[in-house]
Structure 1
Amino acid sequence: MLDYDVEAARYDATRGGVPRARSAARAILALVPDRTRTLLDVGCGTGLVTEELLRPDLRVFGVDASPGMARMAARRLGASLVLGNCHRLPFAEASLDAVSAVWLLHLLPDAPSVIAECARVLRPGGVFVTTVDKHAGHGMDSDVEELLAPFRVRKAYDAASRVLAVASEHGLRRVGEARFTGHGQGRSPSQTAGDVARGQYGQALALDDAQCDVLVSRLSRLPDPEVPRADPVYRLLALRKEG
């Protein structure tokens, strides 16, 4: 996994910036009820998406475990930013109207415990909104993804079927879904080759040194090496707490 304290300074610029954040925020807000007055963004990172959730009638909090990310988020969210662990959220039981988790569960082998925590802090009738199936968002029709696919570590911590099964155990029922575009996230072959060579994919790819060299070489030989492929389309699920 990436060192997010180190990554914080360049994170927004390399992840689609404001256009991607706005796209995610619009999709989240479309899935929460109009009566929502409090929302917690779990794993908020630099707070770029969280800031786009701000509305006059909606109090938005952000929580992140990375001090580097939290420092960036504090500039956007002020006192509404909390440095904390997503496995033990620093909020009381049944205290929030909505919880969001964008691009988080796919990183966590223990994602079920995070889903349980999100359910714990939700009021009855509250909604948990989360991305699922993140890696599928890039699509298998991309020539870049076709080369990456054999090396992908198939640990789908955020698989929709798994998220729905765990959510059901904690009184969360599916009430909607949405998709949004990850603007600026289409990968060019040359960019991908550089990221693979620098180890930017972390544990997402299982590669030894020889395989890494071969993959970088194959990516570099793809046509139009500087042209980004299509932006990914991400999927959100909305889950309402019963009771």
Structure 2
Amino acid sequence: MLDYDAEADRYDETRGGVPRARAAAEAVLRLVPPGARTLLDLACGTGLVTERLGRPGLRVHGFDAAYGMARKAAQRLPGRVALADARRLPLPDASVDAVSAVWLLHLVPFADAIVAEAARVLRPGGVLVVTVDKDGAHDVGSDIDRLLAPHRSYEHASDRADRVEAYAAAHGLEPAGTTCFTGHGQGGTPRGTAEKLRRGSYASWFRGDAETSAALTAALAALPDQDGRRADPEYRLTAYRRPVPRG
């Protein structure tokens, strides 16, 4: 996993910047109920998405476990960002109307604990909005994808949609909608993909040994337009709702 404290100062410029952040925020807000008054953005990073989640009547707060990320976010959202582990939020039960977690669950082996904690702090009628199947979003049919496809496996992905839905159900949340958004600036290049393969950045889904990795690296180096970005991925967001008790 990346050292997010070390990455904080260059994170935005290497992750699609404002266009990707704006697309993500607009998608989250499509799934947040119109009457929501409070939104908690987990793993808010530098706050680039978080600061775009506002709308009239909605108060947004960000939490991140990495000091470097939280420091950057606090510059964008003074007084509304704090350090916190997404599994142990410093909030009482049933205290917020919405929780968002964009590009978080695929990074951790404890997605269930994050969903459980979000369910704890949601009020009845509140929603949890999360990205699912993040790594699979990069299967967009380019020449890079055709090379990698036989060596991809998402069996153990912690943000696999069916797995997250099961976690949500176990903690009393029900499906409440889905939407997609474009990951602007996230289309891969042959050269960049080969470098990530060499670094082991694809360990979560790569199915193969060192010999396979070396062969793929050579095949990627043979592709045309080595620094040309292929199609941007389409990320998927899913919402889960805390039911309102009847009677």
Confirm or deny a common fold (TM above 0.5): yes
* Secondary structure at 2:77 match in 1: helix
Q: Which runs of 5+ in 1 are unaligned?
A: none
* Secondary structure at 2:33 match in 1: coil
User: Contact 1:171/1:241 (CA < 8 Å) preserved in 2?
Assistant: yes
Residue 32 of structure 1: aligned partner: 32
* Residues 213 and 6 (structure 1), Cα distance of their counterparts in 2 relative to 1, 3 Å cut: farther
Residue 112 of structure 2: aligned partner: 112
Residue 240 of structure 1: aligned partner: 241
Structure 1 letter corresponding to 2:239:
A
Question: Is residue 17 of structure 1 aligned with residue 17 of structure 2?
Answer: yes
* Residues 185 and 163 (structure 1), Cα distance of their counterparts in 2 relative to 1, 3 Å cut: same
* Residues in 1 aligned to 2:205 and 2:64: alpha-carbon distance in whole angstroms: 21
Residue 172 of structure 2: aligned partner: 171
* Secondary structure at 2:187 match in 1: coil
* Secondary structure at 2:223 match in 1: coil
User: Contact 1:38/1:59 (CA < 8 Å) preserved in 2?
Assistant: yes
* Residues in 2 aligned to 1:68 and 1:202: alpha-carbon distance in whole angstroms: 25
* Secondary structure at 1:78 match in 2: coil
Residue 5 of structure 2: aligned partner: 5
User: Contact 2:131/2:236 (CA < 8 Å) preserved in 1?
Assistant: yes
* Residues in 1 aligned to 2:12 and 2:163: alpha-carbon distance in whole angstroms: 29
Residue 75 of structure 1: aligned partner: 75
Residue 141 of structure 1: aligned partner: 141
Count of residue pairs brought into register by the alignment: 243
TM-score (norm 1): 0.93
User: Contact 1:140/1:146 (CA < 8 Å) preserved in 2?
Assistant: no
* Residues in 2 aligned to 1:207 and 1:72: alpha-carbon distance in whole angstroms: 38
More helix by share: 1
* Secondary structure at 1:219 match in 2: helix
* Residues in 2 aligned to 1:211 and 1:91: alpha-carbon distance in whole angstroms: 47
Residue 157 of structure 1: aligned partner: 158
* Secondary structure at 1:28 match in 2: helix
How far apart are 1:102 and its partner, in Å? Answer: 0.4
Residue 229 of structure 2: aligned partner: 228
* Residues 223 and 181 (structure 1), Cα distance of their counterparts in 2 relative to 1, 3 Å cut: same
TM-score (norm 2): 0.91
How far apart are 1:71 and its partner, in Å? Answer: 1.2
* Secondary structure at 1:156 match in 2: coil
How far apart are 1:210 and its partner, in Å? Answer: 4.7
* Secondary structure at 1:48 match in 2: coil
Cα RMSD (Å) of the superposition?
Answer: 1.8
Q: For residues 13-33 of structure 1, what are the alpha-carbon distances to aligned partners after superposition, in whole Å with 9 as ceiling and x for unaligned?
A: 111000000000001101111
* Residues in 2 aligned to 1:201 and 1:5: alpha-carbon distance in whole angstroms: 21
* Residues in 1 aligned to 2:109 and 2:57: alpha-carbon distance in whole angstroms: 35
Residue 125 of structure 2: aligned partner: 125
Structure 2 letter corresponding to 1:117:
E
* Residues in 1 aligned to 2:204 and 2:161: alpha-carbon distance in whole angstroms: 21
* Secondary structure at 1:13 match in 2: helix
User: Contact 2:140/2:231 (CA < 8 Å) preserved in 1?
Assistant: no
User: Contact 1:2/1:200 (CA < 8 Å) preserved in 2?
Assistant: no
Q: Identity of paired residues, percent?
A: 57
Structure 1 letter corresponding to 2:67:
P
